[in-house]
Structure 1
Amino acid sequence: MGKRHSELLILKEIAELLNTGTNMDEMLSGVLKKLLQVTELDTGWIFLMDGDGSFQLAARENLPPALCYQNLEPMCKGECWCTDRYNNGRLEKATNIIECKRIEEAIEYNWGETNGLTHHATVPLRAGEEKFGILNVGSPKKTFFHEDELALLESIAFQIGTALKRIKLIQKEKELALTAERNRLARDLHDSVNQILFSLSLTARGGREMTENEEVKETFAFLQDLAQEALNEMRALIWQLRPQGLENGVVSALCSYGQMLGLNLQTEVKGLLTLPGRVEETVWRIGQEALANCKKHSQQSDAMIQFMIESNFLNMLIKDSGCGFIYDQNQELPSLGLKSMKERTESINGDFTLISHPGLGTSIKVRIPI
């Protein structure tokens, strides 16, 4: 009776954690730990799966040394029976896996102790028809899971899947709210500040034409130039908040933005460019900052944008043939804008490279998994 009561308490804690958690990594790690407590199993891990068949190790508990070899390399690369079954649609419910291929390879290549782990149960994480990944659990010397054990694992996996869907919906809602706020700010700036600056430019022009005094003419001319510069900056800011043409794809949006800046852009696209929403927005922000730098610093109006899709990666190159500057790749990036581009790239697990030499222009290369 005491054991049953303890199990119910842990299951209650799991349900509460899944219902209230908003940080995906913390939630999955906490649930996995409590799940092993209630099932009295030793080891578990969770793979989150992408639509293209790739996966990431999202949570782990008490993995044997063999599976932790070289910074978890056996758990982050390669195929196995459970991921294969998931990807080809054959993993529909909790099931026994005969043997763990990753453990077999660890033994074959002598990656370390397996602590007696040879088999595991595998359960799809799902909510309705939508699938998110795989839950795997096992213990030393345990080669078979009974129906009641699998039923419990399936029940908890369904709760995990429902929680993952809830978190994804919350994230999407936040993104939509952010987009709506950006659009509102863009409209407000266009309808108020933008119009005021335009009126100021016209007024200065009229004042210059009405006076015969050369000093006053120069003053009005200076005011007109200043108003026009501020107007250009405001238009660029409105573009940043609400890019025109992004609905037609990031390449179209960046070309339009480059034209607005007065750049002569050469574009090259290789491969079908259909990007996830978050990747597309990040690429747009990086490209926008890079083109703005071309306009401000290169002292040239020519620039090139290249997009290439290969092996589930997007490679983007933005290059100018301008003045360039001295940059050592071992040093810190020299400006806030460049640091921002690097941070945005790394936020979606990409690689950022800056190459620049005096008189030879500047190149920004971004490689992002898609």
Structure 2
Amino acid sequence: MSGFNDPSHVIILKEIAELLNEETELEPMLTQALKKFLEGTDFQAGWIFFIGEDGRHSLIAHEHLPAALLKKDCHFMKAGGCWCVNCYKKGTLRKASNIIECKRIEGVIGKTHEETEGLTHHATVPLQSGPERFGLLNVATPGRTEFSEHELALLESVAFQIGSAIKRIQLTKKEQEIALMQERNRLARDLHDSVNQLLFSMTLTARGGAEMTDSAEVKETFYGLQSLAQEALTEMRALIWQLKPRGMEGGITQAIKGYGDILGLNVKTEVKGVLRLPSKVEETIFRIAQEALNNCKKHSDTDKVIFIIRSYKDRVTFTIRDFGRGFYAEHVRSLPSVGMISMRERARLLGGDFRVESQPGEGTAINVTLPY
């Protein structure tokens, strides 16, 4: 490959910059940028790791990996550690570097005795924007055991572009989340100040009307109106809670117990493992739990509920179980309600699993597994 000042390199950097500026979704952006980079250089394969604060890495994008590395859903790329990931976690990997030996590639050859199409070594560079680090960009070429300074310089320039684009998308997503939260808060305030107060006034008026009449028939009508208004008031408070949940700062279990209190449910919680969950996973758990508790309030004919959550290395599982009347779960699977569809969809969006267990007279259990 010729020097870094080669006009072709300038064209590559320009095309990648344009692509990065146009994309708004993270994974498609990384995949397209990696593909564009490989098309314009002598590098033939590449992959991108995201590495979290806990040190765990995830394969977020890859292009032209040998078949041996693609097997079992890229098992050898996702499992275990390697030199570049370990150096990244230690903070000693600060610029583009040649990798003399790749543990992952060696592992494929050693365990499966399959060739990696001449791929034995790769170069690596951290993805970062200022002091923030996101992961690694790795590239390789079959038959190459070392890459020149010019190639590493080009790799660093592309990594800088990608790191800046990742930061931009994260800031955009954060702004969108803040805007959504502000809108939810505004709507919650409006509902509290208007509809909620009207319903509260209606319950007082109905109670007063019942006390002012001597007619048993009219009194019964007022009491019925009061009961309906009180039920609507409870529903409205639950809706306001959904829009602006309180107690999340105290943890997911505290928030779910608080929501159960609003509905008049006695929710017992059981936690196994350390709950350090991404905000997206935590919100999904809370929203699924809300819908499950709503269903319990409406259909189970019991106020006793247990919420069990277990945290593992790469996933979290939770169960919401009531001890009420139950139903035939097969009927729900064939004709699912809107609530069940909503819970299942929330789990699916995070790549999770959603199951319902129930029998008449034996209560109902919602079981969910979410990866993270």
2:139 maps to 1:137: yes
Q: What is the identity, as a one-letter code, of the residue corresponding to 1:314?
A: V
Unmatched segments (≥5 aa) in structure 2: none
Aligned equivalents of 1:167, 1:13: Cα separation in 2: 18
SS of equivalent residue, structure 1 residue 109: helix
Structure 1 partner of 2:203: 201
Structure 2 partner of 1:9: 11
2:281 maps to 1:279: yes
Alpha-carbon distance change, 116 to 312 in structure 1, aligned in 2, over 3 angstroms: closer
> 1:186: how far off?
0.6
Aligned equivalents of 1:233, 1:90: Cα separation in 2: 55
> 1:332: how far off?
5.0
Length, aligned pairs only: 369
SS of equivalent residue, structure 2 residue 329: coil
> 1:171: how far off?
0.9
TM-score, normalization by structure 1: 0.93
Q: CA RMSD in A?
A: 2.2
Structure 2 partner of 1:123: 125
2:199 maps to 1:189: no
Aligned equivalents of 1:250, 1:28: Cα separation in 2: 32
Aligned equivalents of 1:54, 1:273: Cα separation in 2: 16
Question: Is the 2:69–2:75 contact (alpha carbons within 8 Å) kept by the matching residues of 1?
Answer: yes
Unmatched segments (≥5 aa) in structure 1: none
SS of equivalent residue, structure 2 residue 211: helix
> 1:237: how far off?
0.6
Identity of aligned residues (%): 56
> 1:93: how far off?
1.3
Residues 342-369 of structure 1 deviation map (CA, whole Å, 9 limit, x = unaligned): 2222323333232212211111222333
Residues 127-146 of structure 1 deviation map (CA, whole Å, 9 limit, x = unaligned): 11211111111111111111
> 1:308: how far off?
2.5
Residues 55-77 of structure 1 deviation map (CA, whole Å, 9 limit, x = unaligned): 22222111111111133222232
SS of equivalent residue, structure 1 residue 154: helix
2:176 maps to 1:178: no
Aligned equivalents of 2:315, 2:263: Cα separation in 1: 29
Residues 173-194 of structure 1 deviation map (CA, whole Å, 9 limit, x = unaligned): 1111111111111110000001
More displaced 10-residue stretch of structure 1: 47-56 or 72-81: 72-81
Structure 2 partner of 1:105: 107
Alpha-carbon distance change, 67 to 330 in structure 1, aligned in 2, over 3 angstroms: farther
Q: What is the identity, as a one-letter code, of the residue corresponding to 2:116?
A: T
Find 2:94's aligned residue among 70, 92, 95.
Answer: 92
Aligned equivalents of 2:335, 2:141: Cα separation in 1: 48
Structure 2 partner of 1:217: 219
Structure 1 partner of 2:43: 41
Residues 50-98 of structure 1 deviation map (CA, whole Å, 9 limit, x = unaligned): 2222222222111111111133222232322222222232222110011
Q: What is the identity, as a one-letter code, of the residue corresponding to 2:148?
A: H
Q: What is the identity, as a one-letter code, of the residue corresponding to 1:203?
A: T
SS of equivalent residue, structure 2 residue 40: helix
Aligned equivalents of 1:110, 1:183: Cα separation in 2: 55
Question: Is the 1:313–1:368 contact (alpha carbons within 8 Å) kept by the matching residues of 2?
Answer: yes
Q: What is the identity, as a one-letter code, of the residue corresponding to 2:13?
A: L
Question: Is the 2:260–2:267 contact (alpha carbons within 8 Å) kept by the matching residues of 1?
Answer: yes
Q: What is the identity, as a one-letter code, of the residue corresponding to 2:43?
A: L
Alpha-carbon distance change, 72 to 273 in structure 1, aligned in 2, over 3 angstroms: closer
TM-score, normalization by structure 2: 0.93
Structure 1 partner of 2:148: 146
Structure 2 partner of 1:304: 306
2:22 maps to 1:20: yes
Q: What is the identity, as a one-letter code, of the residue corresponding to 2:297?
A: K
